[in-house]
Structure 1
Amino acid sequence: MGFEDEAVEELYSKVWSHRSAMQRELNRGAHGEVFALRQLACHGEMTPSQLAESLRVSSGRVSTVLSSLERKGFVTRTPDPSDRRVVRVAITEAGRGRVEEDLEDMRSAVRWIFSQMGERRTREFVELTREFMTYMSICHPGQPRPTAEEVRKAFEGNA
């Protein structure tokens, strides 16, 4: 087995398959609430169908999430004035506050991790992650691997 196979195995078995406490907290029982709020905060008012499509979940799942968020005062659902059959979902100020709080909690946790790693290793990690993500953006399963020219262009675009 070459180093590439060993690295893939290590990523699958030790990194991607084991959820950290932080990852579990991100997905904590909210079952998409955090992601729905972030989507609304970034893109503004949406229909439930648009939200389901952007989150890649069923309309039933979005309906459940929206009911929970509405009970908590994080979103409002109102009929579209031009077509009463269409429902518009908007984030409330309380919802925006929740998004900001969640993002700050995550930033604080990641800053602490970086403080433990130290500046040199953090900078190396960020640079390696940037490089890895650039390769990930141009290499698609089941398709031919990118050419040297495609790789060069990808890295020029991320410089």
Structure 2
Amino acid sequence: MGFEQELFRDLMGNIWNKKSLMQQEMVKGARGESFAVQELYRKGPLTPSQLASAMKATAGRVSTLLAGLEKKGQIAREPDPDDRRIVHVSLTQTGKERAEKQRDDMRDAVCWIFSQMGERRAREFVELSKEFTTYMTLCMPGKPRPTPEEVAKAFSENTQEVA
């Protein structure tokens, strides 16, 4: 077995078998209110169908989720002035405060982890993570592997985004 297969097994073991509490919370949040609040915070008002697409969820699931957020006073729904069939969902001040608290809590947790790793290792980890995720955007299971030109283009775009 080559080092690639050995590292794959180790990586998958860490990701799937030893999920940390933070990873579990992040995964749970990606399917629920936390994700919706963050998406609205980052992008501004969205339609329920745009939110469903971002969440990879059904319209029914998003409708239920939005009803809960509305009941908590974290979102507002307003009809589009040009087409009243379209509804825009936006965060209220309470929703914005929730989004900011979620981000602050995540930042504080990750910064603590980085402090435990030390600056050199934390910087190296972030750089390697950027490289790994760039490759992941190119290489899908069951699909052809990217060409050297596609890889070069992706890394070029990744460098431009950071600059």
**Is structure 2 residue 39 aligned with structure 1 residue 36?**
no
SS in 2 for 1:83: coil
Q: Helix, strand or coil: the match of 2:144?
A: coil
Percent identity between the two aligned chains:
55
Is the partner of 1:146 in helix, strand or coil?
coil
Distance 2:83 2:151 in 1: 48
Displacement after TM superposition at 1:33 (Å): 0.5
**Equivalent AA in structure 2 for residue 121 of structure 1:** R
C-alpha separation in 2, matches of 1:125 and 1:90: 35
Match of 2:67 in 1: 67
Q: Secondary structure at the match of 1:84?
A: coil
The question of 1:158 aligning with 2:158 is answered yes
Hey, what's the Cα distance between the residues in 2 that align with 1:156 and 1:83? 41
Runs of 4+ in 1 over 4 A off after TM superposition: 27-31
- For residue 27 of structure 1, report the CA deviation from its aligned partner: 4.5
In the alignment, what sits opposite 2:108?
108
When residues 50 and 149 of structure 1 are mapped into structure 2, their CA distance, relative to the original with a 3 A threshold, is closer
Equivalent residue number for residue 25 of structure 1:
25
Per the alignment, residue 50 of structure 2 pairs with 50
Q: Structure 1 stretch 43-52 or stretch 81-90: which is displaced more?
A: 81-90
* TM-superposition CA deviations, 1:81-131 (whole Å, max 9, x none): 433333221111111111111001000000000000011111111111111
Scaled by the length of structure 1, the TM-score of the pair is 0.88
CA contact (8 A) 2:30 2:55 kept: no
> Which shifted more, 110-119 or 75-84?
75-84
Unaligned runs of 5+ in 2: none
Alpha-carbon deviations, 1:109-156, whole Å to 9, x = none? Answer: 000000000111111111111111121122222222222333233333
Per the alignment, in what secondary structure is the counterpart of residue 142 of structure 2? Answer: coil
How far apart in 1 are the matches of 2:143 and 2:28? 35
Total equivalences in the alignment: 159
Asked if the contact 1:31/1:65 (under 8 Å) is kept, the reply is: no
Greater CA deviation, 72-81 or 100-109? 72-81
SS for the counterpart of 1:142 is coil
- Write the deviation string for residues 18-57 of structure 1: whole angstroms up to 9, x where unpaired: 3211122334579410111111122222221221112110
Cα distance in 1 for partners of 2:152, 2:86 equals 46
Query: Counterpart amino acid of 2:2?
Result: G
Structure 1, unaligned stretches of length 5 or more?
none
Letter in 2 for 1:124: E
Q: Could you tell me the TM-score, scaled by structure 2's length?
A: 0.86
